[in-house]
Structure 1
Amino acid sequence: MDNYLYLLINITSIIIPFIFSFYPRTEFISTWKKIFPSLIIMNGIYLIWDIIFTRIGVWGFNEDYLIGFTILSLPFEEWLFFICIPFASLFIHYNKIKLQPKWRLSESKTKLVATIIIVLLLILLILNFGKLYTTITFISSIAILILVLVRNISLLQDFLVSYAFILIPFFIVNGILTGSFIVEQVVWYNNMHNMGIRIGTIPFEDIFYGMTLLLGTLFLSSELKGPVNHQSK
């Protein structure tokens, strides 16, 4: 049964959000269709990143927890990850907006929080420049935060609050994948390419890797002028 673990993590991550996507008050399934093109683009970028990093040994996968089917150096479960986890995460984001529209930061607080994050990442980037995972993740995170601050601060006002909630299941799922609660890691990381700082078993960089994927998807959706509305009333 161990070889089904990663597959089961993906399935359990998406099953409840998928069922409740048809809930009449939110109808997230219709929103998902609208942001799907943006997610395809972002996933394409991330999967290329993932394939390259897997091939050069920045990270890798424990075959004991995989079904054994790979596509372009990535296990099938990793491809599925980029469907299940964004779906579940964006489900939280849009339901927060729909059900609790007042749960958002003011413009001034958004600028303050974003600036603090950018400065922190910039300092860590300078201190760890050349470590591949750290360098690429933090450059990407700084770039997307600045871009959204300038072009769509309303999105960031909602997203920063949403991401605080998204981090709760994130720590559970990524914790299991990186070795919490199980004998070995499903996903291993080469510490030569990251800061070596872990939150439990999760590399610190993972927080911003996920943030950039989600925020990039939402920002791209707004830039493509899709019908998704990020402004809370």
Structure 2
Amino acid sequence: MEKSLYLLLDIFSFLIPFLYSFERKHLYFIQYWKPYFTAIFIVGLCFVAWDVFFTIHGVWGFNSTYLIGVEFLHLPIEEWVFFLLIPYASNFIHYALLYFFPKPKLSAKTSFYISLILFVSSACIAFTNTDKIYTLCSFGLFAVVMLLQLCFRFKTFQRYILSFIIILLPFLLVNSWLTGSFTEAPVVYYNNAENLGLRVGTIPVEDFFYCFSMLYTSVLLFEYFKAKLHFRKA
């Protein structure tokens, strides 16, 4: 069981959202499997490349105690599975909330100012920590995402930023498990010389910005592919 811990966290995080995707009376989310998995796959490839680079250069690593022992391109198979299953489960929460509670959303003006504040603050953190590669990359990428939001004013942001607050709840649980809150040693360990050293519990603060960038970009891509699909059907 101990050797399967990371893999079990991946599977159980994914299982309930995936099963509910087949529920026909309400959301029936599985109907969008093709554009959804396409978006996740494209974004996932970019983050996998980042992950491989960081693993090779010792920015973070994986504890073999909690891994089944299968590895590809310096990453355990559990990490590959993570980039497929966790975004599916996380963003399913957004679409379930959107379906059952469609009204709550930020105004366009409020969204603009929030994205502006987030862009300026994250860009400043990135540029003042160029010696810390995880800080530079996580906050730098987040700043780019916020800059794109400022330029294109994606309406999805008005609701997604609220959904992300709820998504953070399972994120905190799973990531706390991975970073050692409930185990003798962390499943994923970090080189603190490459990050700010600030943690929420056992989770490096950079992880929150890394997570948002990965999830939000996959939602934007999904919305684009879904719109193209509806256009073809029409």
Shorter-chain TM-score: which interval? Answer: over 0.9
- Partner residue in 1 for 2:217: 216
Deviations 1:65-92 (A, max 9, x none): 0000101110010011111110111101
Name the aligned partner's letter for residue 20 of structure 2.
Answer: F
Change in Cα spacing, 1:149 to 1:30, as seen in structure 2 (3 Å) is: farther
CA RMSD of aligned residues (A): 1.6
Contact 1:96 1:103 in 2 (8 A): no
Taking the TM superposition and a 5 Å limit, the aligned residue runs for 1:169-188 are 169-188=170-189
TM-score, normalized by length of structure 1?
0.93
> Which AA in structure 1 matches 2:177?
I
Contact 1:66–1:77 (CA under 8 A) maintained in structure 2: yes
In 2, Cα distance between the equivalents of 1:227 and 1:110? 27
Work out the CA distance in 1 between the residues paired with 2:178 and 2:86: 13
- 1:219 to partner: Cα distance: 2.0
1:38 maps to: 39
Where 1:60 maps in the other structure, the secondary structure is strand
After the TM superposition, list the runs of 4 or more consecutive aligned residues in structure 1 that deviate by more than 3 angstroms.
Answer: 221-229
**CA shift at 1:64, angstroms?**
0.2
Deviations 1:126-184 (CA, angstroms, capped at 9, x unpaired) = 32123111111111111112212322431111110111111010000000000011111
Find the counterpart in structure 1 of residue 77 from structure 2. Answer: 76
* Cross-structure match for 1:65: 66
Q: How far apart, CA to CA, are the structure 1 residues paired with 2:177 and 2:76?
A: 17
Q: CA deviation at 1:220?
A: 2.6
Specify the alignment match of 1:203 in structure 2: 204
The 8 Å contact of residues 51 and 73 in structure 1, kept in 2 or not, is answered as: yes
Partner residue in 1 for 2:228? 226
Unaligned runs of 5+ in 2: none
> Is the CA contact 2:126–2:137 (under 8 Å) kept in the aligned structure 1?
no
Q: Paired residue for 1:12?
A: 12
> Which residue is equivalent to 1:192?
193
User: Which residue of the partner structure matches residue 3 of structure 1?
Assistant: 3
CA contact (8 A) 2:116 2:150 kept: no
Listed as ranges, the gaps of 5+ residues in structure 1 are: none
Letter of the 2:228 partner, please give it. Answer: G
Query: Equivalent residue for 1:145?
Result: 146
Instruction: Report what 1:23 is aligned to.
Output: 23
Which AA in structure 2 matches 1:68? G
Alignment check: 8 A CA contact 2:10 2:85 kept: yes
Is 1:159 the counterpart of 2:151? The answer is: no
| CA distance in 2 between partners of 1:193 and 1:201 (Å) | 16
Residues 31-67 of structure 1: per-residue CA shift (max 9 Å, x gap): 2322222221111111011011101100000000000
1:106-117 counterparts in 2 under 5 A? Answer: 106-117=107-118
When residues 89 and 226 of structure 1 are mapped into structure 2, their CA distance, relative to the original with a 3 A threshold, is farther
Distance 1:228 1:187, change over 3 A: farther
- Over 3 Å counting, the alpha-carbon distance change for 1:127 and 1:97 in structure 2 is same
Q: Secondary structure at the match of 1:153?
A: coil
1:131 is aligned to 132
Counterpart CA distance in 2 for 1:217 and 1:12 is: 21
Separation in 2, partners of 1:192, 1:227: 46
Number of aligned positions between the proteins: 229
Q: Does 1:103 align with 2:130?
A: no
* Percent of paired sites with the same residue: 40
CA drift of 1:2 comes to: 1.0
